[in-house]
């Protein structure tokens, strides 16, 4: 069992209201990957929301469901079994603590490097009963999720009118791409904590993702919320068959702020547990990140200075979840 320090426990209890302004939000753009207009619609969605739902994505549903069910089996194991896969280094099994700087959430997770063979990673030991099944489920899923992400990034580049078309996708395709994969499990909110902390306990506090794009699937449980441009939080309707694409900080910088790195968070459901699987597509450590010149209006300076991903990543790991990590890279 993980014993929370007093301050960590207080953090849970202090979270009173994470209620979105209304019920499930119906305004999230839904994009059909096979729609001839997809590239234009993707650009529009990334500008307005930094977020969209992708259907007709071509990833076999059985790959999504198979991994989801293996992950659910793992999270239902006794705590002592799961703890064998911890502590995080930075990959492995995590429970309630998020990142190295004191953030907590009502969450358990497995974090994997998405670019290294799963077999060489410690967390595989958590599937020691049947590692081969887990390995192939993760690899099948990731192969497809990556293929689809490359396609989305190529449509984005095309829609933005930037050349070459693989200018974004090649960063993820790079064999040194620093991408990761996360299986998040949000147990339903226990009654005694509901009473203490208000109804919706925070699962994963508000933050933006550091990478280029994040590609998420979930079971049919609510909990994900995104922050709109006007600052209101809305609840994303879950759909087990779709992918949700999220613009990360790096893409915001590369598009010189035209795309929006969307602030999001997850709250627990009162009755059902939520399971989500996210592929975070990032650049290689030595990649230079800067606004793409053709996206900087003529005669103007870019909004951000050039930096390397490793430089940014170091600052990410010194930050708290809710911090704005891009300020220090903005030109003043
Ligand atoms: C948010 C997006 C990804 O889940 C993640 C997270 C990372 C972690 O869990 O180790 C961070 C968080 C995320 C941003 C700020 C730092 C780092 C926790 C944290 C407090 C894997 C990532 O790349 O950045």
How many Å lie between the centroid of ligand 1 and the Cα of residue 110? 12
**Known catalytic residues?**
274
Q: Is 264 in the pocket of ligand 1 (CB under 6 A)?
A: no
Query: Pick the residue with more confidence: 54 or 128?
Result: 54
Q: In this structure, are residues 326 and 302 in contact, taking their beta carbons and an 8 Å threshold? A: no
Closest approach atom of ligand 1 to CA 211: 23
Q: In this predicted model, what pLDDT tens digit does every residue of 150-188 receive, in sequence order?
A: 999 999 999 999 999 999 999 999 999 999 999 999 998
Choose the residue to mutate in 180, 261, 316, 318 for probing ligand 1, maximizing ligand atoms within 8 Å of C-beta. Answer: 316
Q: Rounded distance, CA 41 to CA 54, Å?
A: 11
Choose the residue to mutate in 98, 249, 309 for probing ligand 1, maximizing ligand atoms within 8 Å of C-beta. Answer: 98
Of the chain, the percentage scoring pLDDT greater than 70 comes to 87
Q: Which of 29-43, 71-85, 118-132 has the lowest mean pLDDT?
A: 118-132
How many Å lie between the centroid of ligand 1 and the Cα of residue 297? 32
Closest approach atom of ligand 1 to CA 88: 10
Q: Rounded distance, CA 131 to CA 179, Å?
A: 22
Query: Pick the residue with more confidence: 128 or 237?
Result: 237
Look at the block and give the residue holding tokens 């998020």: 98
Q: Is 182 in the pocket of ligand 1 (CB under 6 A)?
A: yes
Q: In this predicted model, what pLDDT tens digit does every residue of 258-271 receive, in sequence order?
A: 999 999 999 998 88
Q: In this predicted model, what pLDDT tens digit does every residue of 53-95 receive, in sequence order?
A: 999 999 999 999 999 999 999 999 999 888 887 778 788 899 9
Q: Is 98 in the pocket of ligand 1 (CB under 6 A)?
A: yes
Give me the helix-helix angle, 131-160 and 38-48, nearest 10°: 90
Q: How confident is the model at residue 16 (pLDDT cuts 50, 70, 90)?
A: very low
Q: So what's the pLDDT on residue 226?
A: 97
Q: Is the pLDDT of residue 315 over 60?
A: yes
Closest residue by CA, ligand 1 atom 18: 99
Q: So what's the pLDDT on residue 122?
A: 61
Q: Rounded distance, CA 256 to CA 224, Å?
A: 27
Q: How confident is the model at residue 1 (pLDDT cuts 50, 70, 90)?
A: very low
Q: How confident is the model at residue 19 (pLDDT cuts 50, 70, 90)?
A: low
Closest CA to 47 of 258, 292, 213: 258
Q: So what's the pLDDT on residue 92?
A: 86
Q: Which of 119-128, 160-169, 187-196 has the lowest mean pLDDT?
A: 119-128
How many Å lie between the centroid of ligand 1 and the Cα of residue 299? 36
Q: Is 207 in the pocket of ligand 1 (CB under 6 A)?
A: yes
Structure tokens at 296: 């900087």
**Rounded mean pLDDT of the chain?**
90
Q: So what's the pLDDT on residue 332?
A: 77
How many Å lie between the centroid of ligand 1 and the Cα of residue 313? 10
Q: Is the pLDDT of residue 7 over 60?
A: no
How many Å lie between the centroid of ligand 1 and the Cα of residue 176? 19
Q: Is the pLDDT of residue 34 over 80?
A: yes
Of the chain, the percentage scoring pLDDT greater than 90 comes to 76
Q: In this predicted model, what pLDDT tens digit does every residue of 279-298 receive, in sequence order?
A: 999 999 999 999 999 999 99
Q: How confident is the model at residue 329 (pLDDT cuts 50, 70, 90)?
A: very high
Q: Is the pLDDT of residue 143 over 70?
A: yes
Q: So what's the pLDDT on residue 119?
A: 60
Average pLDDT over residues 118-147: 78
Alpha carbon 174 to its chain centroid, in Å, reads 20
Measure the CA dihedral 118/119/120/126, to 10°: 90
Q: What burial letters (b/e) apply to 33-59, b meaning 16+ CB within 10 Å?
A: beeeebbebbbebbbebbbbbbeebeb
Q: So what's the pLDDT on residue 89?
A: 77
Q: Is the pLDDT of residue 314 over 50?
A: yes
Angle, alpha carbons 108-246-173 (nearest 5°): 95
């Amino acid at each position: 069992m993980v014993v929370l320090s007093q301050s960590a426990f207080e953090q849970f209890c202090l979270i009173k209201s994470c209620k979105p302004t209304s019920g499930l939000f119906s305004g999230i753009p839904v994009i059909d990957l096979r729609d001839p207009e997809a590239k234009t619609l993707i650009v529009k969605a990334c500008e307005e929301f930094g977020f969209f739902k992708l259907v007709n994505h071509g990833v076999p549903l059985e790959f999504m469901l198979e991994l989801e069910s293996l992950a659910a089996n793992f999270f239902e194991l006794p705590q002592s079994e799961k703890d064998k896969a911890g502590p995080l280094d930075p990959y492995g099994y995590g429970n309630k603590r998020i990142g190295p700087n004191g953030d907590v959430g009502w969450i358990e997770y497995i974090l994997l490097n998405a670019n290294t063979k799963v077999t060489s990673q410690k967390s595989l030991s958590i599937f020691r009963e049947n590692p081969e099944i887990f390995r192939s489920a993760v690899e099948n899923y990731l192969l497809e999720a990556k293929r689809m992400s490359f396609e989305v990034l190529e449509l984005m580049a095309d829609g933005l009118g930037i050349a070459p078309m693989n200018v974004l996708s090649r960063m993820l395709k790079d064999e040194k791409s620093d991408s990761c994969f996360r299986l998040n499990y949000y147990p339903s909110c226990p009654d005694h904590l509901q009473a203490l902390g208000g109804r919706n306990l925070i699962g994963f506090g508000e933050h933006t993702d550091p990478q280029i794009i994040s590609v998420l699937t979930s079971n049919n449980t609510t909990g994900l919320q995104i922050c709109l441009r006007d600052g209101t939080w809305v609840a994303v309707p879950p759909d087990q068959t779709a992918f949700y694409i999220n613009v990360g900080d790096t893409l915001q910088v590369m598009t010189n702020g035209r795309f929006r790195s969307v602030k999001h968070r997850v709250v627990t459901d009162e009755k059902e547990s939520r399971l989500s699987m996210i592929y975070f597509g990032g650049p290689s450590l030595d990649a230079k990140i800067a606004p793409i010149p053709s996206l900087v209006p003529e005669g103007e300076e870019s909004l951000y200075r050039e930096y390397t991903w490793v430089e940014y990543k170091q600052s990410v790991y010194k930050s708290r979840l809710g911090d704005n990590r891009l300020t220090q890279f903005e030109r003043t």
